[in-house]
Each structure stands twice: as C-alpha cells, then as structure tokens.
Structure 1
Amino acid sequence: MARVLRIEADGGSRGNPGPAGFGAVVKDATSGEVLAEVAESIGRATNNVAEYRGLVAGLRAAHAIDPDARIEVRMDSKLVVEQMSGRWQIKHADMRTLAQEARALVRPGLVDFGWIPRAQNSHADRLANEAMDAAAAGRQWQRATVAPAAASGGSAAAADPDAPPTVLVLVRHGSTLLTEQRRVSGRYGEDPELSESGLAEVRSAAACRDVAGADVVVSSTMRRSQQTARAIADALGVDVVTDPQWDETDFGEWDGLTAGEVVKRWPREFAAWNDSPDAAPPGGESLLTVERRVLAARDALLRRWAGKRVVLVSHGDPLRVLLRSVLGVDGRMQRRIHVDPGSRTLLRYRADGTSEVLAVNRV
C-alpha cells in the first residue's frame, strides 16, 4: 500500500504585490510526524504567486521523501485548490507556469487537493512569515532545530504530556474618545490616549483575577494599549514587552470615520471588506494580512513564554483573529465577534498542539 504524505502550503505578500515568501510542511498523513519544512523569500510578488510557489516547494519536498507516495495537499487558498483541481481556469500567466510545474511533480491519480481554514494552516503560514522576516533582516531563512508543536501543530508524540500549558489573557485596551464616538481608529491614525472611561476600565482590568499571577504583559506599540499594559504590569510587578505585530489593522482612508461615513463614501469597498478577508480599505490592510502577522506573532509568543501566563494587550482585530484561530472558524466570522474595551478573553495552549477557549469578553 502506497505511503500517504500530507502537504500544507501557504504564501504571502506584504503589499500584494510586495515583499513575498512561502512556506510548506510535509507530514506523514497517518502519524502527523513532520518530515520536512521549507520556506523562502521570493522578492516582490502577489499573494497568489507566493501560494503557488509554496505548493511547488511542498511537492518537491514530498517527492524527495517518497516519489511513489500518495499526496494530500491542504491549503487555505481556495483559488489554488480550485485551479489545481481543474474546476477554475488559470488566467494569470505566472500562475499557469507554476501550475504546470506543480502538475509535473505528481503522478496522475495520486494527489488530492483540499481546502482548509486558515487556522488549520498556521504551520505553513508561520514558515512563510519567518522567511519574509528573515529577508527583511537581510538573512536567509533557516529551519529551527525543533518545530514548536504547540504553535505549529507538529507531532503530539514529540511533546511532553506533563508540560504546563500556556495561558493567554487577551485584554482589549480601554476606551478612547474615538472608541466612544464609534470612529475607526487604526494602526497609522490619530493614536489617541485613554479617555476617563477608558482609565476606569483599565483600573478594573488591572485588579481582576484574570490577570493575577501573570508572568509578563505583552502590548502593541499604540498609546492606548501601552497605557493599558503599563497599568496592569504595575499592579502585577512585571515587565511590559512591546511588539508592533500586535498593532491594530491599518484602516487607510477610513481612519477617523464612523461606519456610516465609510458606507456613504465607499459603499462597494465596505461591503467587500465586510464579506471577504482578502479585501482591504483604500490604502489599508486586508484582514488576511493582519491575520498573517498576528498568527506569526502568536507562534513566537508561545515559543518564548511556553508554560507561562501571559497578558496580551491589543486591539479588536488582532484579538478576534486569535479567538477564531482556536475556534477554527475563518475570516468571514470576524465581524460577528464583539470585544469590549477593557474586556478579557482567556485561551489555553497545550504542549501537544491543542488549544481551548476558557472565557470570552469578561468585563
């Protein structure tokens, strides 16, 4: 009976087109053992081209392991899955070339293409982001000696079953005047400070039992998060670690406006943004882009503070991405999750790669 290998592949572009990279992991489909990881920065390209490059790299790695194996390809790119399955046409010349290269690497009838939610493709996504980060730092990506099981979904057999779980206490920053006016407040906007109501919310969060015993407080760079994080850290007597990956979405030209004002000026763009994680505000970030940086930051956090209790102070979109990733739901559910200012959501990550929601939106 032929061996079955599972390929999970992804690619991304910071700008679409922009600096791009891909990642792919090959696993034994029966045991889940990680057999190979590949990742590479590919210069300037689109998301779709990067995703195809990830597919080709994964197929090459699988072929090197066992050229006669049956292959299960799993990607969160519906476009690549549908095109490679022959149900959608391939119009882009670069993707036609890459699709032909991919087809040349598999024997007819021995490959199955399937779509998975982004939350289930976090291992490949992490590799792609590592490659892009390495290129931005002027170096080449190198595989870690041991893949972090809790972050990547690696083999549970390699994890210590007695290792303590990591608990993330997600705290949304307190209210600002823009929050109270229900105005968009993004990554490169006004960056307001906390209002009087926000300061009261932060005092309540700092005194609550959810944050008690935390080992560290991690925060975005934005003023409202920094104020919230420092109040909690001072109450606990711990440090604040700042990471720009946890900043709010860049809402581009919508920053400072109400939803009604946005709908009036950009009705089609707003409808597309509400419906699709690939759509971005004019001059801003798509949810897909935000999700990629957030999940990469999550993986780094879980590696650095494995087994600890971590308070993470961030914003609506990044926190909803984390909650969705544990629940296993895609970006279309993002706008259905409400996160109050100053609220706490608790997530637990075990060393075997499993995770669970302990509480949502406590105030």
Structure 2
Amino acid sequence: MDTRGGRPVKVIVEADGGSRGNPGPAGYGAVVRDHRTGETLAERKGFVGVATNNVAEYQGLIAGLRAAGEVGAEVVEVRMDSKLVVEQMSGRWKIKHPSMQPLAREARQLADGFDRVAYEWIPRERNRQADRLANEAMDDAKQDQQDKQPQQAEGAKQPHWSGAVGEPTRLILLRHGQTRLSVERRYSGRGDHPLTELGLEQASRAAQRLSTVEDIAAIVSSPLQRATQTAQKLADAVGLDVVTHQGLIETDFGAWEGLTFAEAARQDPDVHRRWLGDTSVKPPNGESFDEVHARVRKARTDLIAKYGGKTLVVVSHVTPIKTLLRQALDVGPQFLFRMHLDLTGVSIAEFYPDGHASVKLVNDTSHLG
C-alpha cells in the first residue's frame, strides 16, 4: 500500500448509481481502492429515493469522495461509467440541469479537499463492484418502492390540461447525422451507409445536448448504421444500451436508392410525379408512405407497450420521424410533403394512454450552433 504516516497517498474511487424507472427508486454505490494494490479500503452504498440515473451517479461520486477523505487520501482517481458526470466534473461539459448543479457543487467542494482529483470514464463491465453496491441499496429499499407505487399510480390519473388522462410516453425523436448520400442529396433508404466525419460530430453534439435529459428510459434506434452510430454516441454519454427496432427503418426507395431527385424523375417520370403527391404510390420495387405509416404505427404501439409512461430517445430517419409527428398531430398525409427535418434535428411527441397526443418540439438543431 502506498502510504504516508499510515494513510494511503493515492486511491481509486469507483462510483456508480442507478434508477429503476429513471426516474424511479434509485441507489448508489462507491468503492475506494488502494492505487497500487487494488485492495478495497472502503465501500459505501445508499438509497436515494425516487430519482434519475444521473442524480444517483452524482450521489455515488459524493459518497466515494467522502470515503476517500475518511481514509486519508491525498490524490484521488475517480472512475465512473457515467460519461455525463465524468465530462461535467472534468469541466468539459456544462451542467445545465438544475437538479444536478447543487450535487456537482458538493462534489467539487469535496474534491477541493484533496491535492488532486482526476476523472476517468470506464466501461460498465469494469465498474461491477460499485454497480453491485448500488443494486444492493435499491434491493434493500424494495419495500419502500412498493409502498410508493400506489401513490404514483393515483397521481398518474390526474387529467392533462387538454383533457388527456394518464402519464404520456414521451418520444424524443432524433434524426441521424450526415452520410455521404446526405451530402450528395441522394435517396437514402435501406442502403446501410455510415456517418461522415461531420455526421459523427453532429451526433456527438446531439448526444451532449440530450445527455442532460433527466429521465431517459431507453434509446431505441433504426437498425441502419447511420442511426445506430448516432444513437451510440448518446448511449455512451448516459450509460444505456442501444435497442433497435426494425419498424423505425427508413422508407425502401427501391429502384431510386442512391439516385438524386432529378435522376429518379428522369428514370420514372410518371411514377415519380404521382409519388410526390400520393402516399399510396410506391417507387419501383419499393415501399409506399402508407406502408411506412402502418409499420411505424405498429412500432409506436410496441414501444408504448414496453415503455409506457416513460421517456425514450428514438433515433431514426426522415420518413419515420415525420410519420410519428403526423400521428401525434392526427393530420393528413400532406404533412409529409410540407415538413422539413434537418440532420440530427430533435423533435418531441407525447402519446397518452387514452389516445391523446401532443407535439412539444419540432426539428430543433440548436446544439449544432
């Protein structure tokens, strides 16, 4: 053990937090290890109450720093699988959400008591001991969680101002970043094209922006690479896995795949002209917008059945996102031809269990500067 006067000079703090419901019953865990030997010097765990993953992660950090101080450490290396906390505490990301600002201040005050504190992101599998402690804390409080559930259910019955009843499923809709076909303005449907360098940067900026959302329960993506690459940036930032759903894939443009607008119009002038105004018309060997509408509706039903009342980030393409917005607004098919969506544009639609819906945001690209 690296010690000075019997005290460890440098320690590693591994911290984690979790929420079952996000927000939901939450707990944290923290481990203090000797930097040289890896020996466990202290463990901490605790139940936070109803909170988000991010709040629980900060509580784990605070508990770990306190424990490091108690064992007399002078230099601390913090390792966490929350990219959000690591980046914010390192000063690279701003702390915008009000609920996290006081926690970050408390953590910084504790950090100021050491000679030096460094922060490192690690994969979840390298943070198993802290994760175990966080889950133990939540398991220990399971009865409290069960006691609170009837109150939450009762509160969910209060009507929305529009008359909607119940907790809405909130879909944060994110279009993927730039691909080569985006640059060349070509039809890009089922072709599996990766993001460009700019597309990866756009995805990173979108991830930084959405990582401040407090209550993301899942990240659901189209299976196409340009969408999953965009989704993975956010997943890395918030510590979630990317789930794919085939129903969120882009329109099958058939014989027009890879063509420009002008090339498709020259190749199939009559079909192309009718396709621009009639959602039942298919591109040759392709898929109509009516067919897209049906499968996106089914995908929406699947997501609400699995994540009802929670917040999801849905990473997809122009047509599926337009379709979800159209369904939320309950408007006709002409909406598809009059709505523009930018690369990594963010929209928000909420779907209530009684059939009501509302659109809160459309095509916001403020994160791109």
* TM class by smaller structure: 0.5 to 0.7
Alignment correspondent of 1:164:
167
After the TM superposition, which of the residue ranges 271-280 and 326-335 deviates more from structure 2? 326-335
Q: How many residues align?
A: 203
Equivalent residue for 1:307?
Answer: 309
1:185 to 159, 184, 188: 188
Amino acid at match of 1:167: R
Deviations 1:262-311, CA, capped at 9 Å, x for gaps = 11111111111111110000000000111100001101111110111100
Contact 1:161 1:352 in 2 (8 A): no
Q: In structure 1, what is the Cα distance between the partners aligned to 2:281 and 2:331?
A: 18
Partners of 2:188 and 2:275 lie apart in 1 by: 16
Q: CA deviation at 1:331?
A: 1.6
Checking the alignment, whether the CA contact within 8 Å between 2:169 and 2:307 is kept in structure 1 is: yes
* Cα shift at 1:350: 2.2
Report the 3-state secondary structure (helix = DSSP H, G, I; strand = E; otherwise coil) of the residue aligned with 1:275: coil
Residue aligning to 1:347 = 349
Distance 1:171 1:269 in 2: 30
2:324 corresponds to which letter in structure 1? L
Contact 2:211-2:234 within 8 A present in 1 as well: no
Q: Secondary structure at the match of 1:330?
A: coil
Report the Cα offset of residue 215 of structure 1.
1.2
Distance in 2 between the 1:342 and 1:326 partners?
Answer: 20
Unaligned runs of 5+ in 2: 1-155, 160-165
Answer yes or no: is the 8 Å Cα contact 1:160–1:351 preserved in 2: no
- Tell me the distance in 2 between the aligned counterparts of 1:356 and 1:186: 28
Q: Could you say what secondary structure the match of 1:183 adopts?
A: coil
Work out the CA distance in 2 between the residues paired with 1:215 and 1:238: 8
Indicate the structure (1 or 2) with the bigger Cα radius of gyration: 2
In structure 2, the residue corresponding to 1:296 is in which secondary structure? helix
Measured against aligned partners, the alpha-carbon deviations of 1:54-84 in whole angstroms (never above 9, x if no partner) come to xxxxxxxxxxxxxxxxxxxxxxxxxxxxxxx
User: 5+ unaligned residues in a row in structure 1: which ranges?
Assistant: 1-158
- Partners of 2:346 and 2:363 within 8 A in 1: yes
Let me know the Cα RMSD of the aligned residues.
1.5
Instruction: Give 1:210 shift.
Output: 7.5
What is the rounded CA distance, in whole Å, between the counterparts of 1:274 and 1:210 in structure 2? 37
- Residues 169 and 210, structure 1, Cα contact 8 Å, conserved in 2: no
Q: What amino acid is the match of 1:298?
A: R
- Match for residue 34 of structure 1? none
Secondary structure of residue in 1 paired with 2:276: helix
Q: What secondary structure, in the 3-state scheme, does the structure 1 residue paired with 2:315 have?
A: strand
Distance between the aligned counterparts of 2:210 and 2:204, measured in 1?
A: 12
The answer on whether the counterparts of 1:173 and 1:342 sit within 8 Å (CA) in structure 2 is yes
**Post-superposition shift, 1:232?**
0.7
Contact 1:295 1:322 in 2 (8 A): yes
The match for 2:240 among 225, 238, 241 is 238
Quote the offset at 1:244 in angstroms.
0.9
Q: 1:210 to 1:346 in 2, by over 3 A?
A: farther
- The change in CA–CA distance for 1:288 and 1:196 in structure 2 (over 3 A counts) is same
Asked whether the 8 Å contact 2:210–2:234 carries over to 1, the reply is: no
Q: Kindly indicate whether structure 1 or structure 2 has the higher relative contact order, using CA contacts under 8 Å at least 6 residues apart.
A: 1
Deviations 1:207-242 (A, max 9, x none): 114762211100011000010111111111112111
Offset of 1:165 from its aligned partner?
2.0
TM-score, normalised to structure 1, is 0.54
1:326 corresponds in structure 2 to: 328
Contact 1:210 1:344 in 2 (8 A): no
How many angstroms does 1:332 deviate by? 2.4
Distance 2:210 2:253 in 1: 34
**Contact 2:350/2:357, CA 8 A, preserved across alignment:** yes
Q: Which amino acid aligns with 2:185?
A: R
Match of 1:51 in 2: none
Which 4+ runs in 1 deviate beyond 4 A? none
Find out whether 1:270 has 2:272 as its counterpart.
yes
